[in-house]
Amino acid sequence: MTTTPALETVGITKSYGSHSVLRGVDLAVPAGSVVALLGSNGAGKTTLVRILSTLLRADGGTASVNGHDVATQPGAVRESISLTGQFAAVDEVLTGRENLVLVAQLRHLEDPGGTADGLLARFGLSDAGSRRVATYSGGMRRRLDIAMSLIGDPPVLFLDEPTTGLDPQSRIEVWRTVRELAGRGTTVLLTTQYLDEAEQLADRIAILHEGRILTDGTLAELKQLLPPSRVEYVEKQPTLEDVFLALVGHDTTAT
């Protein structure tokens, strides 16, 4: 991870009619880092991602991705990014391998088949590569979706609430995938409503509320905003998620 911003916004605004969604967003994401953008429904997370990915034009302010201005160099921005939305954008009629080959062909890669096989192995989907995606679990579809988004090795990846609607095991699969991406130097902007997800994955956390970034820092820095903790001895009961994972097991490669 470096301190050079891979993503940077200054004073970004966006309104729909009289409703202001973004009211001056300032955010910098260092290259090679995972930054979690937290916020409740309607906070403006997806709107900001759509602006950064050139799918939506801001009303005001400036934004750059991988050194390219979003408004004036949208083509260069698109070549630098990949976007995975809230729902897996996979073709259920095709097999997992066919989905990957199709995207590799659309990106004009020299060896679509080899690219597909490499990604299937990397994401633990080799055994399922010849199966139709309609037979995949939610976690497998999401892993395939992320694999498809990495074809062409984009330096910046947007993950817009990637674990919404997934069961606990599938969430763990996606978390493992994001950690692997971060370890390879990919810059990840992750939007989520789940606080534990941000704690698990993010190098830095930004909180978006009512169209503005309230605070931005590491988890340790954010914790310092509250009064010092005090030591108390309490009996910790297992959570329902603990019980679920204990009963079904932690093998996240199972189909």
What is residue 205's predicted lDDT score, i.e. its pLDDT?
Answer: 93
Rounded to an integer, the average pLDDT of 212-230 is 85
Domain ranges of the chain: 5-248
Percentage of the chain modeled with pLDDT above 70: 92
Enumerate residues 6+ apart whose C-beta is below 8 A from 160. Answer: 45, 46, 49, 83, 84, 85, 86, 191
pTM (2 decimals)? 0.81
At 253, the pLDDT band (50, 70, 90 cuts) reads: very low
Q: List, for residues 7-22, the tens digit of each pLDDT value.
A: 999 999 999 999 999 9
Closest CA to 81 of 30, 141, 149: 149
Sheet holding 5-16, edge to edge: 19-30, 5-16, 60-65, 68-69
- Give the residue, 52 or 86, on which the prediction is more confident: 52
Rounded to an integer, the average pLDDT of 94-112 is 94
What is residue 176's predicted lDDT score, i.e. its pLDDT?
Answer: 85
Residue 254, pLDDT > 50, answer no
CATH class of 5-248: alpha beta
Rounded to an integer, the average pLDDT of 180-204 is 89
Rounded to an integer, the average pLDDT of 129-157 is 90
Cα Rg of the chain, angstroms: 19
At 50, the pLDDT band (50, 70, 90 cuts) reads: very high
Enumerate residues 6+ apart whose C-beta is below 8 A from 46. Answer: 86, 160, 161, 191
Residue with tokens 């939610």: 138
How many Cβ atoms sit within 10 Å of the Cβ of residue 34?
Answer: 25
Measured CA to CA, the distance from residue 118 to residue 126 in angstroms comes to 9
Reading phi first (left if > 0) and then psi (alpha if -120 to 50, else beta), residue 29 is in beta
Cβ(202)–Cβ(36) under 8 Å? yes
DSSP string, 82-143: EEE-SS----SSSBHHHHHHHHHHHTT-S-HHHHHHHHHHHTT-GGGTTSBGGG--HHHHHH
